[in-house]
Structure formats: structure tokens, C-alpha cells
Amino acid sequence: MGGLFGASGGVVGISFIFSMQGQGGGMIYMPLFHWVGYDIKTVAIPLGILLSATAKIFSLPQYQRQHLIDWRGAWPMMIAVLIGAPLGALVTGEVPTRLLIGGFAVMLLIAAVRTLWMVQQPEPNTDVPWARRAFLGSLVAGGAGFIGGLLGIAGGFIISPMLIWMGYRSKTSAATTAAVATVSSLAGFSGHMAHIAIPGTMLMVTLVAARAGSVAGSWFMAHRAKSSWIKALYGIIQLTVGGEMKGELWHLNTLGAVVGGLVGIGYLGWQSLAHHEPPLPHVSA
């Protein structure tokens, strides 16, 4: 029982942090429940998807009140993830657990590099044309949905950076990703329903925790957070968890997590110094 409430506390923190990025935290829930001792395929993955969907659903009202969601661009992406996510979920049972963990870790590390690279990038001051949003967004969302369904996540960690690259502002990207990834989570969860074995008490407690964290996190993102804070924190978390999972495969225990977190913090420190070089001294003629 202590492990359950400890994990639930983790769910509150995870949903708070990831709701600021338009995510539900699915990429962290799965390893969290795996580390606590639950089976990956029957508990950790399906519960992670469900909690991710719950967190995003309860973050949407706050984003809508602040007019941050690009609904016109979101609808084509939602259709794409409705096709990709169930297909990915159906393949999960055929993939060996070790390969599943390894693939998950690689995707986290790739996403972390992308996220940290964008921390100091300026926000765009023009809107992306609708045709570009619909076409490229659908390609990205469909692929992210398939990968998310396979790995037990919503794929938002792929969608959000790609929307920023397409020209979305950070907060609009996060809010729109939340709307799209909610559909992806629910579609992916439907593909896992045939092999679910989640204890009832665990389900109830963690759902309440996900709701509480997401409501608080979405409010903080809309009213207080800077875009650079969101991207920096998100990238460090991705590196830490990806490093932990790689370390587990290589029997390094938590060394991988420590290395991943330190690499992220070190890179941000270097990037900050590189963007704040002191001015050259003035030389009189």
C-alpha cells in the first residue's frame, strides 16, 4: 500500500509538470509503475495511457479559457492519431519486453535532445498557414500515434516539438498537443483493453492524482510559466528517465538516470552561457 501511495504522489508531480507541455506524462508513468513492480504489458502500459488521457482531459478547460488551442489545426491531427494509435497498440503484444524498453528509452533520449536544443529559440510572431498545419501536422500525428500506441504513450512528446518546428508558439503548441494527444491516448488505450489487469484501488487512487496534478499544472502554464522553463524542465526529465531505462538494460541501476540528468543540466548551463556572452570591451580611437 505504501508503494501505491508513493506512486500516486509521483503521478501528481508528473501530471503537474507534463501538463505544462501539453502532455499527460505517459512516458514517465510506464517506467514508474514498472519500477514499483507491476507488469509492463498488463498494468504499466495501459494504466500509463489512461492516466495520460485523464491528465490531458482535465487540462483542456484551462487552455480553452485562454484561447490557446488551435482547433482548426487539431482536427486533422486527431483523425490521423485515431488511425495510427490502435495499430501501434495491436503490435505491442508481439514485441519482446526488452526490445520495448530499449525502444522507449531511445525515443526519450531523441526527444530530450530536440527539446533542449529549442530552449533558447525565439517564439514565432506569425501564424502557420492552415494547409501546412493540416498536412504536416497529420503526418506527424499519425506517426506519433502509432509509436505512442506501441510504447504505451500518447506520442505528444513527438507532436509538441514538431509543432514548434512548424512555427507554432510554445504555449499554443502545448495546448494543441494536449487536445490531439487526448484522442491518441484514448485510442491507444482501446487497443490495450484485451490484456488489462489493473487493481481497482490502484486505478481509483492514481486517476484522482492525475486529475489533481493536471489541473494545477495547466493553470500554472497558462498564467505563470515561461516557455523556456517548460522546455528545459521537460528535456531534463526525458534525459533522466531515458538514461534510467538504458541503465536498467545494461545493469547499471540508477547510474543512467544520474548521467542523463547531469548531461541535461550541463547542456542547459553551457547553452545559457553561450547566449549571454559578455560584450566586447570598448576601445577608444
At residue 152, does pLDDT exceed 70?
no
The pTM for the full model equals 0.72
> DSSP alpha helices (H): ranges in the chain?
2-19, 26-36, 45-65, 71-92, 97-117, 130-151, 156-166, 170-190, 200-223, 227-249, 255-274
CB burial of residue 180 (10 Å; 0-12, 13-18, 19+): buried
Q: In this predicted structure, what is the pLDDT of residue 69?
A: 93
> Quick check: is 282 in a domain?
no
Flag the least confident range among 44-48, 55-59, 107-111: 107-111
Give the SS3 label for residue 199: coil
Asked whether 216 and 113 are in contact (CB, 8 A), the reply is: no
Report the 3 state secondary structure along 229-244: HHHHHHHHHHHHHHHH
3-state SS string for 47-82:
HHHHHHHHHHHHHHHHHHHCCCCCHHHHHHHHHHHH
d(CA 104, CA 65): 34
pLDDT greater than 90 at residue 1: no
Identify the residue with better confidence: 148 or 219.
219
**Does any domain span residue 85?**
yes
**279, part of any domain:** no
**The total number of structural domains that make up the chain:** 1
Q: Is residue 61 part of a domain?
A: yes
Domain that holds residue 174: 2-273
Residue 284 located in a structural domain: no
Classify residue 280: in a domain, yes or no.
no
**For residues 114-119, average pLDDT:** 74
pLDDT digits (tens, 9 = 90+) for 14-54: 888 888 777 777 767 877 787 777 888 788 888 888 888 88
d(CA 211, CA 129): 34
pLDDT at 75 over 90: yes
* 64: in domain: yes
Which amino acid is it at 13?
G
Q: How far apart are the first and last CA of the chain?
A: 75
DSSP SS3 for 1: coil
In order of 4, 64, 138, 229, 284, the CA distances from 189 in angstroms are 21, 24, 20, 30, 69
pLDDT at 71: 93
285 vs 5, more confident: 5
pLDDT at 249: 65
Q: Would residue 285 count as lying in a domain?
A: no
